[in-house]
Structures are given as C-alpha cells and as structure tokens.
Chain A
Amino acid sequence: MIEVLAVVEAVVLAYAVTSLVSWGVKKLLDLWGSRSLPKQEQQVAMSEADMKEIEKSKEVIKECFGEDAVDTLRKSTNLERIDLMAKFADRLTKEYDLDIDVDITVNNVQNCGYYDWEHQKAVFNIVLLMVDGNNEHFDYCVKEVLDTIVHELRHAVQHKAIREPGYWNVDDERRMAWANNMAPGNYITSSSNLKRYSQQPIEADAAVFAALVMEGAC
C-alpha cells in the first residue's frame, strides 16, 4: 500500500513540477508577483455577520494550518496537502452551516474551483499545491487555493441566503441584488468580460469576502 501511495505521489509530483508553466501564469508571476485584492476594489460593504464569520474563518485557517499556512504546506507531502485541504473545506462548510457536497480534485482544468449552483456542490482543484514547496511562487499557489475555497463557499452562502431569508442575517436588498445577478442573461462570465465579471454583485461580494479572510492569513 505504501508503495502504491509513493508511486501516486511521484506521478503527481512529476506533473506538478511543470504545472505553473502549464497553468499559464509563470510569466505573469515573474512580471507582476503574487497580488492581493487592492483596497480600492474592496467597496462591497460587509455586514456584522460577515465580519464575524471573516474572523472565524481566519481562526479556521490557523486551526488547520498553524500560524504560517505557506510554511506548513511547504513542508507537507502532496498527500498531506490534499488531506489538509479536504479538512479545511469541510471545516469551513460546517462553520458556514452549509448543506452542500464538496469535492477535492487534482486535475488540469486551469482553475482552482467553482460552485455548481444547480447541484449545490463546490469543487476544488488543488493541483497548484502539487508544486514543489521550494518553488519561488509557492506562496501564490497556497493563496490561490485557500482564496478559491473561501470564495466558492461564499457563493454557497449567497445561494442559501437567497433561498432562506434570515440565514446569515443578509438584508433583503442584498439578497435580491444577488438573485437578480443570477437571473437569466444577467450573469457575466469571466471569459466574456473579466472586468464586468469582477464587478457584478455576487462576484464582487465573494472576492471581497475571500480577500478579507485571506488578509494576514498567509
């Protein structure tokens, strides 16, 4: 069994060595470095309930990864990283009181994950964590994966809040703005217009929520 796992790990690692190049971001990271959401883009107001959960989410990150998530993951094996991320996603799902399916995968789909609104399922692709811990952009890999988990679970929170008034104390104006964004023809995909994608209500809200959770987290 140990041998089988070692082989799996070796194959995953062999793939991972090139994954930042195949991910298409190596040149951009070399040029721009890892980025945080700029303050001037954090214009979406967070409620008291949001701020409370943002603080709790930061605590969950510490519980799962210790004081320095990048360092913890850098020192972990690929299999340990997969396990840590599965536990983190599960822990946050419970913290947010979500009844959704969560899948952790390692594949080459060129994004870190998504929330499937129809099937109420979050899928997280942690291939970026298969990169060698000594990679110069390992901090970007950790940040992207953690940010995506928080961001996509925020969509699940939005979904539940739209359906269940009272959940998370989201006011009606906001619930309706989110519902309107999801009405036919109103959602803007990142592949058609990245700028408008980032500014629409549900994406701007999820981006700010995740950015505030990630602030100081790694």
Chain B
Amino acid sequence: MKNKITFREFQVHMQGFGYSDNEIKHLFGAVKALDSETRGWMIRWFWDGEFPTKEIEGVTFRYLVNDFGYKPLNAFIVLDWLKSNPDAAKYFVLLKPADTPPGEKVGNEMVEILKQNGRTPTPLYQDDILEDIQA
C-alpha cells in the first residue's frame, strides 16, 4: 500500500465526491492536520477502500458514513475531532447544521463591500498543496 497521497491524486479522487476545487484544497490541508492515526486510516481508505473499525466516543467511521450520511472525509475529520475535543465535536454533530453556502450573487456583493472599504478578499486558510499527505 502506498503511504502518501499527492495533491493531484487527491484532487482526481475527490472530484468524484462532488467537491469544488476550493473545497478540495481545504480538505487536502485538513487531512494533513489530522492526527497520525486518523491520517493513516484515511490513507488506507484512499488506496484500498478499507474502513477503520475503531470506535471513538461510541461511533465508528462506518456509522458516520452509512447511518449519519457524512461524506468519508468529513467522517475522518469528525473522528479526529472527537479524539481531540469531544465536547465541541459532539455539540456540532448533534446540531446537524444546514448546508447553505451564500451563493455567487451574495459572494460578489461581499467582494464589492470589501472593496468599498479598501480591502480585498483573503482565504480563511492557507492550505499548502505542494506537500504530500504522508502516513
């Protein structure tokens, strides 16, 4: 099994899950920020399709994906979060927030407002896409 993932390999695979280019960049950075155990699970899932079986706070990857409807990468991120900050992770999992991005029209309006205030939009995260995901 390969123990690293390049951005190009990640991008090709993740496009199949319907992510936008920006989301793929965010997620590439987010996967690299996972703890080494969760990152290892993600790499095995990526190359072999293997589901990790370890329970974190009573839930498994399979439960989050199959029963709770999470996309696989979100499930890895939540498992990692349940390990590092269980109280916060549980609160937001139970919140079940809606997915309502602002849309192009509102986004463009925000850019105009920023410009009127002498600013330009800046990315919230500077995710490095050059460095590979490593086990």
Q: Name the interface size band of chain B.
A: 35 or more
B68 engages A113 (CB within 8 Å): no
Q: Identify the closest chain B residue to A190 (Cβ).
A: B97
B87 engages A35 (CB within 8 Å): yes
8 A Cβ contacts from A101-123 to B: 109-118
| B113: contacting residue among A32, A144, A162, CB under 8 A | A162
Residues in B with CB closer than 8 Å to A35 are 87, 90-91, 94
A36-80 interface code vs B (CB 8 A; 1 in, 0 out): 111011000000000000000000000000000000000000000
- Name the residue in B59, B106, B114 with the highest tally of chain A Cβ atoms < 10 Å from its Cβ: B106
A189 engages B119 (CB within 8 Å): no
Query: What residues of chain B have their CB less than 8 Å away from a CB belonging to chain A?
Result: 19-20, 22-23, 26-27, 30, 57-59, 63, 67-71, 73-74, 77-78, 81, 87-108, 110-111, 113-114, 117, 119, 121-125
Query: What residues of chain A have their CB less than 8 Å away from a CB belonging to chain B?
Result: 23-25, 27-29, 31-32, 34-38, 40-41, 109-118, 140, 144, 147, 162-163, 172, 176, 179-198, 200-201, 203
Query: What are 21 A-B interface contacts by the 8 Å CB criterion?
Result: A25-B94, A29-B94, A31-B59, A35-B87, A35-B90, A41-B91, A117-B102, A118-B106, A144-B96, A163-B113, A172-B117, A176-B117, A176-B119, A180-B114, A182-B102, A183-B107, A183-B111, A185-B20, A192-B19, A192-B71, A193-B23
